[in-house]
Structure 1
Amino acid sequence: MTVTVRFAPSPTGNIHIGNARTALFNWLFAARHKGRFIQRFDDTDQARSKQEYANAILYDLHWLGIYPDRTEYQSRRFDRYDAAVERLKAAGLLYPCYETQEELELRRKVRLSRKLPPVYGREALALTSEETAALEAEGRRPHWRFLLPNFPAGEPENPERTEIAWADIVRGDETVDLASVSDPVLVREDGTYLYTLPSVVDDIDMGVTHVIRGDDHVTNTGVQIALFRALGAEPPTFGHHNLLTTATGEGLSKRTGALSVGSLRDQGIEPMAVASLAVLTGTSEAIAAVPTMSELAERFDPAAASKSAAKFDPADLVALNHTLLKDMPFAEARDRLGVLGISGDKAEPFWLAVRGNVDSVQDAATWWCILRDGPAETPEFGDEDRDYVRTAFDLLPEEPWDRSTWKQWTEAVKAETGRKGKPLFLPLRLALTGREAGPELADLLPLLDREGTLARRP
């Protein structure tokens, strides 16, 4: 058996880091088992689904390092769903219902007042042909519900406790009582499909072996297992991971665009910073900046996810980013640095000098400007420090310069002025960069060269 997973968002907005968590759980699971990853777009809601969102989702996945083996669109598979509907109707497992939303809500309240579970009471099964004709004469069109197998033979009006159990690869043994949920609506009044039927039909047709998704689907899984069996298929293995939320417990939404993958990319966050946080948060693994997807796959264990929400602080992304950048080789950063105008013979030694002092690749542009043009603002010195810096510049060694030049220079300055420690180094750093902290001056000085350094003499 080839392990086959799928990531199936609706293309109704940009995916966020929480969606990325689900995609990555599936991708890494497939990678560990040398399996296949299907990208499926659940775009049956044609009014809200847009190709531009599907394209953006594919772009985001590629940026993260996820490359689907196959891409499918549910909107191109309606014939398969139509056939499944007819099969369920013929088996007596899909029945028409005519209640309005207001009527359903009233019945729900009545059941709650009687301390009964607020589930659909299957009143539509008791309709006579005359009553059905009268409702249709009013202009009502039916929605269609799947009859759950939770009753004694021949007595659908008497649901009883019926457990659906599965071994969840994330949460362990799980059980759902089908008597505690309503018969799900599979087809709306206008003939369009809700999520459940197309998802199950696709999983059957596409040979999906493992469904890994958020734990908000746990109850749905009991219903879907029943539907798999009604369609004559063996259910796949399920896994339900905890959902990613902000530190305050706030959920994420495609519609609001909060923490979208695209916005994080625009902020200069590295893909492996997103992947590391998305996968490791809320697990028994320590959150760390994992440099490659293959290394993350080695650390990935779906069973390591806890059952509580996976809370994270977006500021952690910056820290992870910083860690990844300080070890990033020039070859990996070259193209993006080139876009920023950082190129030529100095580009590589420059990157190696500044990479430990930036939170994003874009930040390197600031240091490049300082190197090329001098401090953004002329440093202000008191009389004593100004005289000290001028004396120090008079002691600059002759070229050629290398990394040892900084030590050679400062030892000469120390011997001449008697200064040491911060009073020696800080005024020189301010004169050269305009900043009190930054890359090692031993690395920057050869890039400035003697002429460029003397140009900064106050």
Structure 2
Amino acid sequence: MTVFVRFAPSPTGFIHIGNLRTALFNWLFAAREGGRFLLRFDDTDAERSRAEYAEAIVEDLAWIGIRPHVTLRQSDRVGLYDTSADRLRDRGLLYPCYETPDELDRRRKRLMGRGLPPVYGRDALKLSEDDRRRLEEEGRRPHWRFLLPNFEADPLQPRRTIVEWDDLVRGSQSVDLASLSDPVLVREDGSYLYTLPSVVDDGELGITHVIRGDDHVTNTGVQIALFEALGFVPPRFGHHNLLTTVSGEGLSKRSGSLSLRTLRAEGYEPMAVASLAIEVGMSGSIEALPSLDALAARLDLSAVSQSAAKFDPAELDRLSAELVHAKPHGEVAAALRGFGVPEAESEAFWRAVAGNCARVADAAAWAGIVYGAPSPAVDLAEEDRAFVRDALDRLPEGPFDRDTWKTWTNRLKAETGRKGRALFMPLRQALTGLDHGPEMSELLPLIGRERTLARRP
């Protein structure tokens, strides 16, 4: 059996790191098993679905390194859902219901007030043909519910019916179908809710494994029953924990702050985002892994916690910085050219500044400091200003190299008596405008003699 998994976002907004978590669990699982990955756009909500969001999802997944083997849109497959719905109707497994949302809400509240579970009582099954005709003449249009197989002969007498599965993440799981309401599959306007199209697609396409958030655990019992009613073999299911903010709030497409589009624009490394999306909420330390192959080897579904995983942006900063520090020059050469770094000095420049860049884009600021004319961020005291002027008069002759800084400061130490911070800090501030940064022995040859002298305070 070839593993076939899917990621099924709705193109109603930009996907965030929580959505990526689900996509990666599936992608990495398939990669490790030599399987295939389907990107399925659940776009049956015509009012909210947008083509630009679908395009953005493809781009954002590609930025991470996920390139689907197959892509499809549910809006192109409505005929399949119609056929499946008709099959269920013909067998009496999809039945019309006429209650309004307000009526259903009042019934639920009455049941809860009596200490009973708010399960739909299948009142629509008691309606005669005349009752249904009268309701439709009043202007009511039915929504359609799937009749769960939780009874022997009389659907109005449900009994305990356990559906079990071996969850890839959570182990042995079970749901009692008698504890659930018959799910609505078709709305009053004839459009489909998530469940029927999803099951039909998974069954028709031969999806073998469904790995998704644990907010779908209860749905799984219903979906297994629907798979079987339609004659499909259910896939294996796995339910991972969800990501929340540090304060415990759920992630949302509407917030935007943790969307892949935003993280990409802010210059984070894609493997930092991917590493954190997978490793948070898993046993073991959170490490910046260099590739999706390395992350696939790290993946252990059984090691995923069953409690929510909190996303800490500080961890993302740390992981991204680690990856940037380790980047070879060849991976950043094009970016450095764009920042105005001369090609002949590009490798030496990156060697000098990489350790001070949390993101590759940070190198642009250092290029401005080295090749531009930085304004000191800290005003020098008059005594330090005089020292720097004197020091520049004692600047070594000839081309600068990595030994120039040491030669220069050793001479200044011997001739002025300054040492430590009093010696080094005024020079750094005068030459870079900052009181921190890369080793001056690396920066000074890049700044060069002419620009160094031009920075006389």
2:311 aligns with: 312
2:93 aligns with: 93
What are the within-5 Å matches in structure 2 for residues 424-435 of structure 1? 424-435=423-434
Corresponding residue SS for 1:46: coil
Corresponding residue SS for 2:343: coil
Letter in structure 2 aligned against 1:203:
D
What count of residue pairs does the alignment treat as equivalent?
Answer: 457
**Per-residue Cα deviation, 1:340-394 (whole angstroms, up to 9, x for no partner):** 3445222222122111112222221111111112322375323332232223223
Quote how far apart the aligned CAs of 1:279 are.
0.7
Instruction: Give distance in 2, aligned partners of 1:379 and 1:130.
Output: 87
Quote how far apart the aligned CAs of 1:50 are.
0.7
2:51 aligns with: 51
What are the within-5 Å matches in structure 2 for residues 409-448 of structure 1? 409-448=408-447
Corresponding residue SS for 1:167: strand
Quote how far apart the aligned CAs of 1:245 are.
0.4
Native 8 Å contact 1:10 1:43 kept in 2: yes
2:221 aligns with: 222
Quote how far apart the aligned CAs of 1:456 are.
1.7
1:61 aligns with: 61
**Per-residue Cα deviation, 1:320-357 (whole angstroms, up to 9, x for no partner):** 21111111112212233333344522222212211111
Letter in structure 2 aligned against 1:131:
D
Q: Answer yes or no: is 1:178 the counterpart of 2:177.
A: yes
Corresponding residue SS for 1:165: strand
Native 8 Å contact 2:376 2:434 kept in 1: no
1:279 aligns with: 278
Letter in structure 1 aligned against 2:106:
L
Native 8 Å contact 2:166 2:173 kept in 1: yes
Q: Structure 1 residues 380, 116: CA separation in 2 closer, same or farther (over 3 Å shift)?
A: closer
Superposed structure 1 runs of 4+ greater than 6 Å apart: none
The answer to which of 345-354 and 51-60 deviates more is 345-354
Corresponding residue SS for 1:345: helix
Instruction: Give distance in 2, aligned partners of 1:204 and 1:436.
Output: 63
What are the within-5 Å matches in structure 2 for residues 121-200 of structure 1? 121-152=121-152, 154-200=153-199
Corresponding residue SS for 2:71: strand
Native 8 Å contact 2:227 2:234 kept in 1: yes
**Per-residue Cα deviation, 1:412-446 (whole angstroms, up to 9, x for no partner):** 22222222221111111111101100011111111
Instruction: Give distance in 1, aligned partners of 2:121 and 2:382.
Output: 88
What are the within-5 Å matches in structure 2 for residues 27-38 of structure 1? 27-38=27-38
Instruction: Give distance in 2, aligned partners of 1:367 and 1:314.
Output: 24
Native 8 Å contact 2:376 2:429 kept in 1: no
Gaps of 5+ in 1: none
Quote how far apart the aligned CAs of 1:140 are.
1.2
Native 8 Å contact 2:148 2:222 kept in 1: yes
CA RMSD of aligned residues (A): 1.4
Instruction: Give distance in 1, aligned partners of 2:286 and 2:320.
Output: 12
Native 8 Å contact 2:244 2:308 kept in 1: yes
What are the within-5 Å matches in structure 2 for residues 355-434 of structure 1? 355-377=354-376, 380-434=379-433
1:327 aligns with: 326
Letter in structure 2 aligned against 1:183:
D
Native 8 Å contact 1:148 1:223 kept in 2: yes
Instruction: Give distance in 2, aligned partners of 1:85 and 1:380.
Output: 76
Letter in structure 1 aligned against 2:164:
A
Q: Structure 1 residues 225, 215: CA separation in 2 closer, same or farther (over 3 Å shift)?
A: same
Letter in structure 2 aligned against 1:112:
M
What are the within-5 Å matches in structure 2 for residues 278-297 of structure 1? 278-297=277-296
Letter in structure 2 aligned against 1:111:
L
Corresponding residue SS for 2:446: helix
Native 8 Å contact 2:143 2:186 kept in 1: yes
Quote how far apart the aligned CAs of 1:457 are.
2.5
Native 8 Å contact 1:374 1:432 kept in 2: no
Letter in structure 1 aligned against 2:200:
V
Letter in structure 2 aligned against 1:108:
R
Quote how far apart the aligned CAs of 1:296 are.
1.2
**Per-residue Cα deviation, 1:118-165 (whole angstroms, up to 9, x for no partner):** 01100111111111111111111111110101112x111011111111
1:14 aligns with: 14
**Per-residue Cα deviation, 1:278-332 (whole angstroms, up to 9, x for no partner):** 1111110211211221111111112211011001212221122111111111221
Instruction: Give distance in 1, aligned partners of 2:366 and 2:397.
Output: 25
2:111 aligns with: 111
**Per-residue Cα deviation, 1:246-273 (whole angstroms, up to 9, x for no partner):** 1100111112323111111111111111
Native 8 Å contact 1:30 1:37 kept in 2: yes
Native 8 Å contact 2:4 2:30 kept in 1: yes
Quote how far apart the aligned CAs of 1:408 are.
1.9
2:345 aligns with: 346
Quote how far apart the aligned CAs of 1:65 are.
0.9
Native 8 Å contact 1:322 1:358 kept in 2: yes
Quote how far apart the aligned CAs of 1:176 are.
1.0
Instruction: Give distance in 2, aligned partners of 1:379 and 1:74.
Output: 60
2:299 aligns with: 300
Instruction: Give distance in 1, aligned partners of 2:286 and 2:362.
Output: 24
Instruction: Give distance in 2, aligned partners of 1:171 and 1:395.
Output: 71
Q: Structure 1 residues 258, 380: CA separation in 2 closer, same or farther (over 3 Å shift)?
A: closer
The answer to which of 394-403 and 218-227 deviates more is 394-403
Native 8 Å contact 1:11 1:49 kept in 2: yes
Corresponding residue SS for 1:173: strand
Gaps of 5+ in 2: none
Instruction: Give distance in 2, aligned partners of 1:46 and 1:335.
Output: 42
Q: What TM-score, normalized to structure 1?
A: 0.97
Letter in structure 2 aligned against 1:87:
R
Q: Structure 1 residues 16, 409: CA separation in 2 closer, same or farther (over 3 Å shift)?
A: same
Native 8 Å contact 1:252 1:258 kept in 2: no
Instruction: Give distance in 1, aligned partners of 2:181 and 2:268.
Output: 44
**Per-residue Cα deviation, 1:161-205 (whole angstroms, up to 9, x for no partner):** 111111111111111111111100111111100000000010111
Instruction: Give distance in 1, aligned partners of 2:241 and 2:172.
Output: 15
The answer to which of 299-308 and 410-419 deviates more is 410-419
